[in-house]
């Protein structure tokens, strides 16, 4: 049996929408439990950190370019550069590094 591509897209969209929307609509107001509060406080930082490293090293063609982009990005963020500046800096570091090495 062949399946309909639109139905596939619809099923995928429905499931991802439910995953994204349910907690936001069901959890109304501040959670009082200190453990869960703390847990949710740390969740974003852990998620973003886990997604960033070591993926940033694997993303470019040359791993060294990724390592240098990470170092440059962390340094710039520490010196309070804004988000767009840091994103651009990381791209430039990879571009220049690969232009030299490749």
Residues 17-76 that bind another protein (CB under 8 A): 17, 19-25, 27-31, 34-56, 59-62, 65-66, 69-70, 73-74
Rule CB under 8 A: is residue 101 a binding residue for another protein? no
| Number of residues engaging another protein in binding (CB under 8 A) | 79
CB of 13 to another protein, least distance (A): 4
Rule CB under 8 A: is residue 100 a binding residue for another protein? no
DSSP state of 62: S
Q: What would the two tokens of residue 45 be? A: 């930082």
CB of 67 to another protein, least distance (A): 11
CB of 50 to another protein, least distance (A): 4
Q: Computed from CA positions of residues 82, 84, 88, 91, in that sequence, does the dihedral angle turn out positive or negative?
A: positive
Contacts to another protein from residues 1-20, by CB under 8 A: 2-3, 5-9, 11-17, 19-20
């Amino acid at each position: 049996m062949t399946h309909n591509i639109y139905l596939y897209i619809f099923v995928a969209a429905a499931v991802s929408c439910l995953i994204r929307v349910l907690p936001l609509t069901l959890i109304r107001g501040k959670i009082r439990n200190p453990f869960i509060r703390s847990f949710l406080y740390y969740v974003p930082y852990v998620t973003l950190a886990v997604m960033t490293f070591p993926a940033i090293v694997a993303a470019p063609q040359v791993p060294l370019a990724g390592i240098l982009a990470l170092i440059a990005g962390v340094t710039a963020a520490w010196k309070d550069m804004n988000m767009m500046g840091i994103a651009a800096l990381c791209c430039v570091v990879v571009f220049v590094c690969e232009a030299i090495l490749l």
